[in-house]
Structure 1
Amino acid sequence: MTQHRLAGFISDNMESILQAWEDFARTIEPPALTMDDTELRDHAKQMLHAIARDLERPQSEQESAAKSKGLGKRGSDDTPAETHAEARLLSGYTVVQLVSEYRALRASVLTQWVAATPEGHRTELADVTRFNEAIDQALAESVARYEYMVKQSQNMFLAILGHDLRNPLGTVVSGSTFLMQATDIASKYVLVATRMFNSAKRMSKLINDLIDFTRTHLGPGIPIRVKQCSVVEVCELVVNELRTFHPEQIIDLHVPPQLDAIFDESRIAQVLSNLIGNAIQYGQHDTAVTVRASGSDTDIVISVNNRGRTIPAEKLGSIFDPMVRIAASVSADYTERTSLGIGLFISREIVQSHGGRVEVTSSAQAGTTFTLTMPRLPRGFGAPGEG
């Protein structure tokens, strides 16, 4: 019995397949109504030619399994499926509409192929399998590119928003600072100005966290500028600031007389502020938060410990992931001071930029401890002061 192969059918019937693709695309509203024929067919032809070529070449079982999962081999250039996803996103398609196009393409090709198979000829089942694998691969590439572009757009929007909010917020901080220092106005206005200042500073921290978060997702990462600094001075500065802001909380600090290293002073201060603030928020307020710093010839170690609700073991692995929050019962006052849920993620990124790591342990006996470990001496610097 003569075989009717799918690769040849696709090449010989490209126009009718593309017409079916176009007819379906025009049913998707509203984007399809705004595109001409060329745009509607944009990359279908290249995808179909690529599929036809793929059907004609030998394929191992491993290659077949990989393609069915969307993990087939690819070159360095963008595939037609990836380019198609970009065009559809810019045209206003949702990801559901994008997927529906591939479903329609699959049905169109197979339906026309079966209908065109002459009597006395048989279709090759292996061709159907190979075709489905190729469509699955193209679909996976399209969805991955679509999702990537959406995330990039969202992060760019957040970065621009955070940047544009800095100037008006800076005006609020400056104005409230001026009123706080005034001696010729009633004390009640000074109190209002102080509350405005504290609220603006919290907003400023949220905006800085947002900008840092988008930096990690847009490519460049969090910038650091390292120099020789005192670990002791940074710890004392951050702890004293938080003692002022949280007078009800005991914060114990244990540091050696001297401990120097090469690091970005403001960024490590940001990490400590995040870690200690997190310990205050989720710890028991009648027990102390303990901060310890020590050093060896090669490393600096800073730990922050609090007593409170134990973090479940299954949540420890994801605690540094962005937008992850540990559920805890906190007062309304502390709820107002919570962040976007990205403080720990940013802290980890900063420490990793220094070549270090942040780890967490939690138990009923020892409490919850975040431990920051980073090298004392990055490459290319002389030895810092001994600690």
Structure 2
Amino acid sequence: MESILQAWEDFARTIEPPALTMDDAELRDHARQMLLAIASDLGTPQSTQESTNKSKGLGKRGPDDTAAETHAEARLLSGYTVVQLVSEYRALRASVLTLWAADIGEARAAHIIDVTRFNEAIDQALAESVGRYEYMVRQSQNMFLAILGHDLRNPLGTVVTGSSFMMQAIDIPPRYILVATRMFNSAKRMSKLINDLIDFTRTHLGHGIPIRVKQSSIVAVCEEVVNELRTYHPEQLIDLHVPPHLDAIFDDSRIAQVLSNLIGNAIQYGNREVPVTVRVTSTEADIVIAVNNRGKAIAPDRIVSVFDPMVRIAANVNSDSIERTSLGIGLYISREIVHAHGGKVKLVSNEDDGTTFTLTMPSMPKGFQGASDTASGG
């Protein structure tokens, strides 16, 4: 048992990035139960038809979840892909057969039968794992689309209608017209979020998020986004620290989308008694924007999945968590937009300093030739 588990653990540790945040127990999870079930199966008489069914992953099962099914859920929530999940079974099969061959020496008929039955049991466990993994992914996708329609379209319609009505009024003070204009502009940006689903799909097809860069003011973009969010969240203080002037070559609408997502996330999960801080600095080659909130720190084992909406939704499919009403796609799209600019987003979270998302991108994208407008894929 120990030799097999160690080989399983050694292989699982090579699967990155999930394995980087998992301890020995998590890497070995459910392997022991599966091996014990397989050993028990080897000692149980079976008919030819039962053998055929198991080789197709259609073996008999009890009313409770099998170790393979539970293992599939755990691996999905740890960030494994289905290909990585299947690779673990390939490694388990190879490890056991290698150790088995070394132990029995010259093969005999009884051993060949046992090897055949072992392979049937592995196929059954693999079928159970992939089936449960596919089910969890499908459930999270269905929830994803349902929340999209509910959370974006209805509130967006109300904001657009209300702000448009106020903008056309002639019997209210100008300052209210200004507020209505900002609301209307924010609503237009919200409508672009519907396109995030298209962006999300595009990134998974390998095309990346398209950007159109030009010389613009980082300061102006930050001030615009912060003012909009101050209007929308008057109860939350937002401190903005920017230099007097700071220009760069970037897609201003896309970076505004990133800032809106990062600051909105900070407001949602921050402490209302402490300001959200947005700080813009620069180096010789890079623009650095840090967004900090002093809310509850993110657990270390959850940091790896913060940018993955499917993992976050799957983790809450069977719960009443508030995260069920949030797509969580904003952080993923933000990261992909920054990557398209040749930059990166770093997350640090602890009880002392709070949670800080730091966006770093080059002030001059690689390959930019000085044209007024260009398109690029991430």
TM-score tier after normalising by the smaller chain length: 0.5 to 0.7
Separation in 1, partners of 2:228, 2:155: 21
Give the structure 2 partner of residue 361 of structure 1.
348
Deviates more, 1:315-324 or 1:342-351: 315-324
Matched to 2:217, the amino acid is S
Cα offset, 1:349, TM superposition = 2.2
Tell whether the 8 Å contact from 2:57 to 2:127 is kept in structure 1 after alignment: no
Tell whether the 8 Å contact from 1:303 to 1:372 is kept in structure 2 after alignment: yes
Of 297, 301, 312, the residue aligned with 1:324 is: 312
Cα offset, 1:238, TM superposition = 0.9
Give the structure 2 partner of residue 179 of structure 1.
165
Tell whether the 8 Å contact from 1:159 to 1:211 is kept in structure 2 after alignment: no
Cα offset, 1:301, TM superposition = 0.8
Cα deviation code 1:255-294 (max 9, x no counterpart): 2222222222212111111111111222222322211111
Of 229, 232, 236, the residue aligned with 1:245 is: 232
Of 211, 217, 220, the residue aligned with 1:230 is: 217
Cα offset, 1:232, TM superposition = 1.5
Matched to 1:376, the amino acid is S
Give the structure 2 partner of residue 296 of structure 1.
283
Tell whether the 8 Å contact from 1:310 to 1:364 is kept in structure 2 after alignment: yes
Separation in 1, partners of 2:131, 2:294: 45
1:126 has 2:112 as partner: yes
Separation in 2, partners of 1:254, 1:279: 16
Give the structure 2 partner of residue 108 of structure 1.
none
Give the structure 2 partner of residue 339 of structure 1.
326
Matched to 2:368, the amino acid is F
CA RMSD, Structure 1 to Structure 2 (Å) = 5.1
Give the structure 2 partner of residue 101 of structure 1.
none
Separation in 2, partners of 1:204, 1:374: 26
Separation in 2, partners of 1:203, 1:216: 20
Cα offset, 1:356, TM superposition = 1.8
Q: Which has the higher contact order (CA 8 A, sep 6+)?
A: 2
Tell whether the 8 Å contact from 2:57 to 2:125 is kept in structure 1 after alignment: no
Matched to 1:247, the amino acid is P
Matched to 1:126, the amino acid is I
Q: 1:267 to 1:206 in 2, by over 3 A?
A: closer
Give the structure 1 partner of residue 258 of structure 2.
271
Q: 1:379 to 1:161 in 2, by over 3 A?
A: same
Matched to 1:368, the amino acid is T
Q: 1:137 to 1:263 in 2, by over 3 A?
A: farther
Q: How does 1:278-289 map to 2 (within 5 A)?
A: 278-289=265-276
Separation in 2, partners of 1:267, 1:360: 20
Cα offset, 1:166, TM superposition = 9.0
Q: 1:25 to 1:218 in 2, by over 3 A?
A: same
Separation in 1, partners of 2:189, 2:217: 26
Separation in 1, partners of 2:170, 2:219: 40
TM-score, structure 1 normalization: 0.52
Gaps of 5+ in 1: 1-15, 29-63, 73-121, 326-334
Matched to 2:280, the amino acid is A
Q: 1:148 to 1:309 in 2, by over 3 A?
A: closer
Separation in 2, partners of 1:308, 1:152: 32
Cα deviation code 1:1-58 (max 9, x no counterpart): xxxxxxxxxxxxxxx98xx76xx999x9xxxxxxxxxxxxxxxxxxxxxxxxxxxxxx
1:66 has 2:95 as partner: no
Give the structure 2 partner of residue 306 of structure 1.
293
Q: 1:185 to 1:314 in 2, by over 3 A?
A: same
Matched to 1:366, the amino acid is D
Tell whether the 8 Å contact from 1:172 to 1:200 is kept in structure 2 after alignment: no
Give the structure 2 partner of residue 115 of structure 1.
none
TM-score, structure 2 normalization: 0.53
Separation in 1, partners of 2:272, 2:132: 46
Q: 1:153 to 1:212 in 2, by over 3 A?
A: farther
Matched to 1:68, the amino acid is R
Tell whether the 8 Å contact from 2:148 to 2:327 is kept in structure 1 after alignment: no
Q: How many residues align?
A: 268
Cα offset, 1:178, TM superposition = 4.0
Tell whether the 8 Å contact from 2:249 to 2:364 is kept in structure 1 after alignment: yes
Q: How does 1:1-387 map to 2 (within 5 A)?
A: 66=91, 68=93, 123-126=109-112, 128-130=114-116, 132-133=118-119, 136=122, 140=126, 144=130, 175-183=161-169, 204=191, 207-322=194-309, 324=312, 339-382=326-369
Q: 1:138 to 1:284 in 2, by over 3 A?
A: closer
> Partner of 2:165: helix, strand, or coil?
helix
Separation in 2, partners of 1:234, 1:206: 18
Matched to 2:312, the amino acid is V
Q: 1:271 to 1:125 in 2, by over 3 A?
A: same
Matched to 1:324, the amino acid is R
Cα offset, 1:318, TM superposition = 2.9
Tell whether the 8 Å contact from 1:169 to 1:200 is kept in structure 2 after alignment: no
Q: Percent identity?
A: 50
